[in-house]
Structure 1
Amino acid sequence: MNNTTSSVFLPKMSTYNLEGQSIAVTLTHNPFDFEPQTLFSLAARKNKKRRFLFVSKVLGKHIPSDPFVPLLAGAALAVQFLKKLHQVDHPDTFAIIQALKSHEMTQSVYESVTSRSLITLPDQTLFIGFAETATGLGHAVFNLFDQAFYLHTTREQIPQLASELNFNEDHSHAVNHRCYPLDVNLIKAAKTIILVDDEITTGNTALNIIRAIHSKYPKTNYVVLSLLDWRTAENRANYSKLEQQLNIKIQTSCLMEGQLEVSGDPVNEPTDQFNQPVRAAIFESPVDPDEKFLNLRDLVPVYSEDLAGNKNVSPYLLLTGRFGLSTLDNQKNLPLARELGEELKRDRSGQKTLCLGTGEFMYIPMLIAA
């Protein structure tokens, strides 16, 4: 991939060339003056709905990362939300942004953020993180707040439970989102719903879940938080239309806004295949794996099925937010992660260790790695 960047003054344009496609990104709002390459790169993909994707450098997804970087990305989104919507300046804002830009002092900055008192919002608030890339991001945002609740959507099917909310992500390879709160009152009682995603292109996914929520548990206040916001004027008008139709308020906040212009024809043929068997690369050198299983507490004894009907019989960890989480519940996560980290340290060798989360399971692996 080749890319070029124009003048330092807004509007600032970067052009990315991806296997026959040219994607021009023009920044229109950049409150913390991030360089685009600090937050993302672009990659081609074989998908008829959108032939490229933004690869975040601050999510801890797809690209190995210092675990404090994605945790601080969530904190950055939280402090920007506080500033824009509540006119509150968080004392660690400058340090958070500098740590994200430089990748220096990330641990000490995160420890400073988490040592402060939690922030109480004026209304009972439910944070919802979007699967699969923003489950950890949403949790990291929620982590700064008191008397709040967190729930993340899932692409996974859990046959033993009924999904309380169902909606679609139109441009995704796997469009269906589900929500499995064990206590539906966390949705019913919320006065404000805050949706968290890593990137908004059309904004339709947020509108779809707002419609789903409003049809069962009407609210008046919705907020959409994202690292990146690429909505067009038409997309933004759709938000205003839904506000008028449902008599609600939808506010947005992000770290970077801009416009996209896509031209050219991609070289790779798109595919609709999903969950198809793939031929894995074979590692020729002999490997003697040393496996160790840790027994965890607070499990939800249900299994999941993928789109091909394959069962995963492993139980879920309750504290991930998949089934709903209160601020009080969330306070168990850091001690649990430290306990697991200390246990794993006894088996470590060498200078570097990869703590690998799987799919939607991101936040707790980040804490363990931290």
Structure 2
Amino acid sequence: TALGHAVADGLETAPYLHSTRRPVASVPSAGGFEESHSHATSHLLLPEDPAFFDRGGEAGRGPLVLVDDEFSTGNTVLNTLRDLHARHPRDHYVIVALVDMRAPGDAGRLAAFAEETGARVDVVAHARGTVRLPEDVLARGLRLVEEQDGSTADPLVPCAPAVAPVRLQLGWPAGLPDGGRHGFTPDHRARLREALPAMAARIVDGLGGPEQAGRVLVLGFEELMYAPLVLARALEEAGLDVRFSTTTRSPVLAVDDPGYAIRTRLAFPAHDDPADGPGERYAYNVAGGGF
């Protein structure tokens, strides 16, 4: 969600909306899609403005930009395109990802969608590649899980001395959304940029200044990533040594090995009561101050 919001920021004049797993009774759905490989598959589009997808006038005016972290098969983005085109057709779509890992046959399905609808579909990726897996990859993976189970899957980390929590009045502007769950407009973007330095200064003061703060972890929460991310950037600009991460629903095996990407895992129950039920949540590579 923060990745898409950052792309919208780069486009400056683009309104932004991200999908959500959290229905709101007072906000009708403007669409949705299934993310078949996810741990919570159903996504909703819940813009507060019913005309959000009709901005720009007649259908077909202006491109609609869809952002994802990676394409493995392209199923999710294709599901999204089909749903949106049936409800709010346009003649130009731009698909953006950090990594495009689709096989040639998968890539052809977007071309088939474009031919079927008459819409132009462009794909922009920071990197492209392929994954080749050995035939025994599943068996080897299961052995690794068995080896790590009960040992280093959740490494125990010495606790730092208890520190009294500091609660701050951040001064978040009234009426400004904390993210793009229900839409984030260019006017919202301008208000947030204007308010960020003062909010960062309050946090720095609450931590006792840059010298006393030390290294700071800003931890976002699932869909609520963007506000923590821009605050982390503002804290860095104010002189703090900042790391940023977020919690997630995705379970990943942690292995405390220098050559492995996920070294530590914190697991904890969901703090709220989401519509799709309770479950474990995770924070990776932040245990023990190792961030």
Range into which the TM-score falls when normalised by the shorter chain: 0.5 to 0.7
Q: Which residue of 2 aligns with 1:297?
A: 173
2:258 alignment partner in structure 1 = none
Alpha-carbon shift at residue 140 of structure 1 (Å): 1.2
The 1:176–1:239 alpha-carbon spacing in structure 2 relative to 1, beyond 3 Å, is same
Q: CA deviation at 1:195?
A: 0.5
Other-structure match for 1:217: 88
Give the distance between the partners of 1:353 and 1:285, measured in 2 at CA: 14
Superposed CA RMSD: 2.4
**Which one of the candidate residues 230, 249, 257 is aligned to 1:367?**
230
Higher RCO by CA contacts (8 Å cutoff, separation 6 or greater): 1
Q: Hey, what does 2:193 align to over in structure 1? A: 334
- The TM-score normalised by the length of structure 1 is 0.52
SS of the residue 2:107 aligns to: helix
Deviation at 1:180, TM superposition (A): 1.3
Which residue of the other structure, out of 28, 41, 48, is the alignment partner of 1:182? 48
Equivalent residue, structure 1, for 2:279: none
Q: Which residue does 1:147 correspond to in 2?
A: 13
| 2:189 paired with 1:323 | no
Cα-to-partner distance string for 1:223-280 (whole Å, 9 max, x where unaligned): 100110000011011111111222211110111011122232243399xxxxxxxx99
Deviation at 1:323, TM superposition (A): 1.3
**Residue number in structure 2 paired with 1:245:** 116
Aligned-pair CA distance for 1:293: 4.3
Structure holding more strand per residue: 1
AA in 2 matched with 1:341: A
What's the counterpart of residue 267 of structure 1? 141
SS at match of 1:167: strand
1:178-219 CA distance string (max 9 Å, x none): 111111222112431101111111111111111111111111
Determine the C-alpha separation between the residues in 1 that align with 2:123 and 2:182.
25
Contact between 1:169 and 1:176, CA under 8 Å: does it hold in 2? yes
Q: Who is 1:117 aligned against? A: none
Aligned residue for 1:157?
23
Within the candidate set 90, 93, 104, 1:233 is matched to 104
Matched, 1:357 2:220: yes
**Distance in 2 between the 1:360 and 1:183 partners?**
20
Using structure 2 for the length normalisation, give the TM-score: 0.66
Q: Deviations over 1:45-79 (max 9, x none)?
A: xxxxxxxxxxxxxxxxxxxxxxxxxxxxxxxxxxx
Alignment check: 8 A CA contact 1:298 1:319 kept:
no
User: Matches of 2:218 and 2:105 in 1, distance apart?
Assistant: 41
Aligned residues with identical type, % of pairs: 26
Q: Distance in 2 between matches of 1:298 and 1:177?
A: 28
**Aligned counterparts of 1:202 and 1:177: Cα–Cα separation in 2:** 18
Once residues 203 and 345 of structure 1 are traced to their aligned partners in structure 2, the CA distance between those partners, rounded to angstroms, is 42
* Count of matched residue pairs: 211
Residues 351 and 146 of structure 1: is their aligned pair in 2 closer, same or farther, counting only changes over 3 Å? Answer: closer
Say if 1:153 and 1:322, in contact at 8 Å, map to a contact too: yes
Change (3 A) 1:284 1:327: closer
For the 8 Å contact 2:32–2:42, the answer to whether it is kept is yes
Give me the whole-angstrom Cα distance separating, in 1, the residues matched to 2:160 and 2:178: 38
Q: Is the 8 A contact 1:166 1:178 kept in 2?
A: yes
Q: Unpaired segments of 5 or more residues in structure 1?
A: 1-134, 271-278, 300-316
Gaps of 5+ in 2: 146-153, 234-291
